[in-house]
Amino acid sequence: MFADIGNRINALLGKQQMDIERGAKLGFCFERAEATDRIEEFGYPLRAITKSGNGYMYSIYADIRPDELRKAENAKGKIISILSSSDAAYERDIENVKALAKSVLSSVASPERIDMLSYIIAHDTAGYGPISILMEDRHNIEEIEINSPDSCISVFLPRYGRCLTNLRFAGAQQFRSTINRMISNTEKELSDGTPIIDAQIENLRLHAQIKPYALSGAAATIRIGGRKDINLRYLMENRTADADMLAYLWIAFEAKQNMVISGAPASGKTTLLSALAAFVPSNEKIITIEEDINEINSTGMNNVVGLYGSRYGSINPKEQVINSLRMRPGRIFLGEMRGEEARDLFMSANLGISFAATMHSNEGGMQILKKLIVKPMCVEIKSLSMLDIAVYMKQADISRRSLSSISEYRWLSRAETMEGTEVSEEEMVNICDIASGSVLDRSALKESKVIGSYARMHGITVKDALKELDRRSKFIATKATDTGVYKSVEEAVKMYEGW
């Protein structure tokens, strides 16, 4: 009897040791980085951009020799054993595991290679393997793309576009384990039962799929937020918008005009909306509603409440728009309007609550209206007339997004349409281009709906309102390069005294 129990214990311990040894295999590897001419070098371990055909390569110079691989895997096995038997002696974060790996490797690896091997072991054990290594360069990288579990990972950099890296997973199982480690706090799991997942992890947006839906076996896209300060100076330095267009939008916000910012994915819609938040009067309460990561920058904004609504969760964006009305908002910012929430947002505008929202569209103008009135948004025609401005964003080149055009919607009144006659949406509205080709049309401003609304609000003439627009344009241009009294353009805007 006791012998049987002893055999079972030994078998259990043996299985545990086998699991540790299996877990000691590194979950990713580095392809050899070519020693070609490097366009740019940065970071640790050394990262470099090199030319590759008609594109670019993002390489990490951390090759592991076969003898080092065996030492790294042996060290990882010992570290897993130590961590498994330790209560609180070792925190499972990258820096602590790296320090532990150094002590384990001290007797078997050369001093000049210990730091690099410890770095790799720590990311594989306590981090997200190749993903956390790439995330260290989050100020340069916008997206991490995995097209299959055993092919090299790609990254998207604003300056160079999509670049192939020399990092890849060891296989499908390692890919799945890493993704599940990333989403461990979200109550989600990538598995045969849930082969498609969307998740938000801090300021990351993750989408992943496995078989049978991912034909390559597995695929994932990780969008990285919080890479840079999104503000008015950023827009001007990157030639996204000039001072004239920003001054016009400043006046539009002050005149409580309702706005949709449209464009293709990654065209800079939310970047623009985040920066324009500086123009909202400081005494207004703003409610931001987002489905994904906290992309709308509320830094420096007063009276702001952020709400989250997941299209796949129990509380969706539509419900959060309705909930926001119970919080007495002065203005609603909606990130990525694309479903039934649009209908409720426009209905709230009928109640006098201004809004600014982003939406996907490959055109502005009439195309925006046509998308709004059909499924899945289904905005009622009578509510549609609450839309005042459409801003269209586009990617000008690999490294630059630009505010391409601004259109005003001038809706016909009942007196302007024949009673009893059906009128199409094209006949109900006149669309005036205020900016096109990234340039503000000065002649169109004389008949501008926004300028007229601002003039009536302050009891001044249109001529005076246009002079105020010029003053604000010069003010923004000056403060964008001024490092004097105010720390930022946003701070200066808050202190600006207009009409």
Higher pLDDT, 422 or 135: 135
- For position 303, what pLDDT does the model report? 77
DSSP 171-215: -HHHHHHHHHHHTTTTT---SSS--EEEEEETTEEEEEEETTTST
Q: Please give the CATH architecture assigned to the domain spanning 232-495.
A: 3-Layer(aba) Sandwich (3.40)
Res 419 pLDDT > 80: no
Indicate the pLDDT class of residue 251, thresholds 50, 70 and 90. Answer: very high
- In the predicted structure, residue 144 carries a pLDDT above the cut 60: yes
Mean pLDDT in residue range 151-168:
93
d(C-alpha 322, C-alpha 344), whole Å: 7
pLDDT of residue 292: 63
Q: How many CA atoms lie within 13 A of 487 on its CB side?
A: 1
**Position 137 pLDDT exceeds 90:** yes
Residues recorded for the chain = 499
The per-residue pLDDT for range 97-110, each reduced to its tens digit, is 999 999 999 988 88
For residue range 66-97, what is the model confidence (pLDDT) as tens digits?
A: 888 899 999 999 998 888 876 544 567 899 99
**198-207, 304-313, 352-361: range with lowest mean pLDDT:** 304-313
Supply the DSSP symbol for 270: H
Residue 427: its pLDDT value, please? 67
pLDDT at residue 281, as a whole number: 86
Residue bearing the bigger pLDDT, 343 or 237: 343
Strand partners, 395: 401
Domain boundaries, given as residue ranges, for the chain: 2-224, 232-495
Distance CA 156, CA 221 (A): 11
pLDDT at 12: 40
* Weakest-pLDDT range from 104-118, 274-288, 297-311: 297-311
The residues, ordered by sequence, that sit 6+ positions from 269 with a Cβ below 8 Å of its Cβ are: 261, 262, 263, 358, 359, 393
Preceding amide of 45 cis, omega within 30: yes
> Which H or E run contains 382?
helix 381-384
Least confident of 6-10, 66-70, 115-119, 455-459: 6-10
> Minimum mean pLDDT among 128-132, 190-194, 314-318, 459-463: which range?
314-318
Q: How confident is the model at residue 54 (pLDDT cuts 50, 70, 90)?
A: confident
Residue 21's pLDDT is 43
Q: What is the pLDDT of residue 401?
A: 85
pLDDT band at 4 (very low <50, low <70, confident <90, very high): low
Cβ burial of 25 (10 Å; 0-12, 13-18, 19+) is middle
Query: Across residues 203-229, what is the average pLDDT?
Result: 86
pLDDT of residue 14: 46
pLDDT of residue 91: 61
Q: Determine which of 25-34, 282-291, 295-304 has the lowest per-residue pLDDT on average.
A: 295-304
Residue 379 has pLDDT above 90, yes or no: yes
For residue 229, the model assigns a pLDDT of 64
State the pLDDT at residue 237. 87
Using alpha carbons, select from 188, 189, 149 the residue that is nearest to residue 169.
Answer: 149
pLDDT for residue 414 is more than 70 = no
pLDDT of residue 102: 93
For the segment(s) 2-224, the CATH number from 3.30.365.10, 3.40.50.150, 3.30.450.380, 3.40.50.2300 is 3.30.450.380
